[in-house]
Structure 1
């Protein structure tokens, strides 16, 4: 039997409530700017108008489920163009990888929705209950009248923010001013109220209560990015070579007076106090660190107050940490194979999407051969093949002329469709509509092919002269 001693205890440490302290500095200002821009875009974008002409929605960004369209300013996407969303997902992934390769988890620290809304909720909490010390003292005192009033106000404001967050989301799926009026008069569809309730609850829970727990336990990105980073990536780093050994200002002065080594870190814990996830950056890079830079602002403030150089905590690379230990100057390589590959991938995918958007056709035609029966033998010996033809019109109302090519002597017929003077079938398709008709390709007895023949059904826009075609095959008894 082993002589090892096992100490019983909980598998997981109990959660310690985090009380982030307010901090001022460069990175805090950057976070405020990003917060204002991203939330401003999210809340106000549904109300931006964009004139697309008569009969089309005037909302700049709109997901129109009833008509199966997605509008983004001058771009209009149809369900058949879902590959554009695939391209956007690839671009988003490559951008995330690129940001990670350059500066670690800057997405998490500055632009992640969880971070942005949690920052806003923290700002409300500080405005109502005070900063770190006041909140800690209020919790220790218990439920006094003042504490109850402050907590009630805080949660009310949180719920209002969460409610408007859910409300703004549904505005992207209908005309925003109209839907706001319908919501206020309780005439909106139930699905709108349902999604507002769901998003209100999730925003309130994640940003107001779960907070750092989402980043540490729920989000997969911290675990993924650890496999994508390298020694050249910038990460928020504590310079242990300069900060250790830690001691107070007075003790450091005494140690230096006696010729002993003293680090610049005074163990003030300000870097921990301002961290939204409660991480001690001096213990190295950790799963909970979202690379927001607030600890840099806090440490620099303390260093300025005690007249020591700033930068004890800063964005640095593993390579430079080793070079400093060896007495070498730091070097930086933001442009390297990894970042160039990510940037090239983004450029290629973005270029393909842009070219496709600029050259895409606003009309299209699809043909599907009827399979039962594949062909019909006529009484005079001729052969007829039937097809389902679908014309797609992504713009204003158009008229098309239809003809068939690839089979000499073939005639195109369709019930209920008029003919032009030149003998071609004429079909009208309304604005932003598709029209499906049943057509037949018929050949006389002397022109029946001995084997299947590839044919082309061509549709010509009578206004612009643009022609689109769909290929299929003509089947005969001698196949």
Structure 2
């Protein structure tokens, strides 16, 4: 400055403050579908842990239980052991492919209708609306000074949120422990630290994520809005605004006829803003396709209601594809392509992986063995010149009955098997006898003794063979037998 006075730099904001979204209530077909799916999903979530399923004595009677103490995953008649974690991997892969397929067909339809964040946020908004009123009333209440009425309505809303959060926290933990016992333990303050801790964690996160963060979870924490753009193509059904029909848009006076608007170049959109007011993430779909749009269709419901009131055709905002819009803009007829290369690939991969898992589970053995050879000492030379190796032998009995087995070592001539703790009259032969309790892993220490001349090499392959004496089921495990080798 000429007078030498200092210039105060302008304050720069590097982020925009959150603008609270007050979604307006709306009615229509997509709102009905969302409500139906919400109640179905909630019923599955809250009822599934209470369904009983008889598995026999000393077995959990909960139909769906992810027991981390056993550990086992129980889903009705299916029981998954820890070493079968590949089934869980397969389920996650199929779920991911299903999400890819749904996105390729209809954009973020998962986010709009079935995502837990969406479902619980809908419930929290419903509670908020019950205590504070619809959108306009909630906005006025937030701006109004604090009063006894405002405190009462806010307190009621948060009490409802906390009650739903507590029920949700219990619902999550009930999938990992027996639901009736958990309910009693929590009510009598006898729950374990782990159960109480996870219950408080899930309840607290539900309250924060569905009550306070809401769409901010979708904006900043969920990676799917950015990933899903790679799954879309020009034939994917997404919520779109028909610019050819709607623009140029502008408010309509009651005294103004549609012929007058047409002559002035206005389209069917009266710029009422209802589509923005009902959007749970605050998106204006009229500005074009957006990654933040969750494809819930509520804006289409709101717009259809306005079109009916204006005696105009519905569908100004609708589920459509970009290819369809471009084709119609050229005056041609478009037919939606359900079968496309990417949908074929996703569908085939899901079918193959699901079929492979089902086939594998149907043919999986009812017993499984694992053998670990002692590392020290490598071998022991006994007084009679025979060589002995020690092994830790584990057998998994995947049935609900006591099982007895015979154990033999094949591949080495004259091999004798002795189980530590076995009676002397039953040991020192080619076959030993072991047993396993129902649905358990039995561990034994096993000695294998062979003549010196049967192991001329330092390492000789040996195969442990286990046979169920009740039904003949067999399993084997390849290991090695170490000796001094030739001198």
Tell me the CA shift for residue 201 of structure 1.
1.4
- Indicate the residue corresponding to 1:399 in structure 2: 404
Matched, 1:15 2:18: yes
Looking at structure 2, the residues matched to 17 and 371 of structure 1 have their Cα atoms a distance apart, in angstroms, of 65
The residue correspondences of 1:418-437 to structure 2 (distance < 5 A) are 418=423, 419=426, 424-437=431-444
- CA contact under 8 A between 2:465 and 2:474: conserved in structure 1? yes
Using the size of structure 2 for normalisation, the TM-score is 0.93
Matched, 1:335 2:339: yes
Go from structure 1 to structure 2 and tell me whether the alpha carbon gap of 1:130 and 1:230 turns closer, same or farther (over 3 Å shift).
same
Looking at structure 2, the residues matched to 270 and 7 of structure 1 have their Cα atoms a distance apart, in angstroms, of 37
- Indicate the residue corresponding to 2:3 in structure 1: none
Q: Which of 274, 278, 281 matches 2:282?
A: 278
Cα deviations across residues 13-72 of structure 1 (Å, max 9, x unaligned)? 322221111000100011001110111111121111001011101001112222111111
State the secondary structure of the residue aligned to 1:173: coil
Most deviating of 428-437 and 298-307? 428-437
Matched, 1:267 2:271: yes
Q: Which of 78, 82, 98 matches 2:81?
A: 78
Matched, 1:382 2:386: yes
- Indicate the residue corresponding to 1:3 in structure 2: none
Tell me the CA shift for residue 451 of structure 1.
5.3
Cα deviations across residues 87-132 of structure 1 (Å, max 9, x unaligned)? 1111111111111101100111011111000000111111111111
Tell me the CA shift for residue 374 of structure 1.
2.1
- CA contact under 8 A between 1:399 and 1:428: conserved in structure 2? yes
Matched, 1:464 2:471: yes
Cα deviations across residues 136-161 of structure 1 (Å, max 9, x unaligned)? 22223222322221111010000000
Cα deviations across residues 262-286 of structure 1 (Å, max 9, x unaligned)? 3111111110111011111101122
- Indicate the residue corresponding to 1:247 in structure 2: 250
Using the size of structure 1 for normalisation, the TM-score is 0.94
Matched, 1:413 2:418: yes
- Indicate the residue corresponding to 2:5 in structure 1: none
Query: What do you get for the CA RMSD once the two structures are aligned?
Result: 1.9
Looking at structure 2, the residues matched to 158 and 446 of structure 1 have their Cα atoms a distance apart, in angstroms, of 78
Most deviating of 437-446 and 169-178? 437-446
- CA contact under 8 A between 2:416 and 2:431: conserved in structure 1? no
- Indicate the residue corresponding to 1:372 in structure 2: 376
- Residue ranges of structure 2 left out of the alignment (5+ in a row): 1-8
Tell me the CA shift for residue 373 of structure 1.
2.2
- Indicate the residue corresponding to 1:345 in structure 2: 349
Most deviating of 376-385 and 147-156? 376-385
Cα deviations across residues 360-396 of structure 1 (Å, max 9, x unaligned)? 1121111112222222223333222222111111222
Q: Which of 217, 220, 223 matches 1:217?
A: 220
Q: Which of 89, 92, 99 matches 1:96?
A: 99
- CA contact under 8 A between 2:102 and 2:109: conserved in structure 1? yes
What is the count of residue pairs matched by the alignment?
473
The residue correspondences of 1:6-405 to structure 2 (distance < 5 A) are 9-250=12-253, 251=256, 253-255=258-260, 258=263, 260-395=264-399, 396-405=401-410
Tell me the CA shift for residue 252 of structure 1.
5.8
Go from structure 1 to structure 2 and tell me whether the alpha carbon gap of 1:267 and 1:410 turns closer, same or farther (over 3 Å shift).
same
- CA contact under 8 A between 2:52 and 2:62: conserved in structure 1? yes
- CA contact under 8 A between 1:380 and 1:445: conserved in structure 2? no
Go from structure 1 to structure 2 and tell me whether the alpha carbon gap of 1:261 and 1:177 turns closer, same or farther (over 3 Å shift).
same
- Residue ranges of structure 1 left out of the alignment (5+ in a row): 1-5
- CA contact under 8 A between 1:99 and 1:106: conserved in structure 2? yes
Tell me the CA shift for residue 257 of structure 1.
6.6
Looking at structure 2, the residues matched to 133 and 214 of structure 1 have their Cα atoms a distance apart, in angstroms, of 24
Q: Which of 455, 472, 475 matches 1:448?
A: 455
State the secondary structure of the residue aligned to 2:336: coil
Tell me the CA shift for residue 422 of structure 1.
8.7
Looking at structure 2, the residues matched to 391 and 451 of structure 1 have their Cα atoms a distance apart, in angstroms, of 28
Tell me the CA shift for residue 254 of structure 1.
4.3
- CA contact under 8 A between 2:396 and 2:441: conserved in structure 1? yes
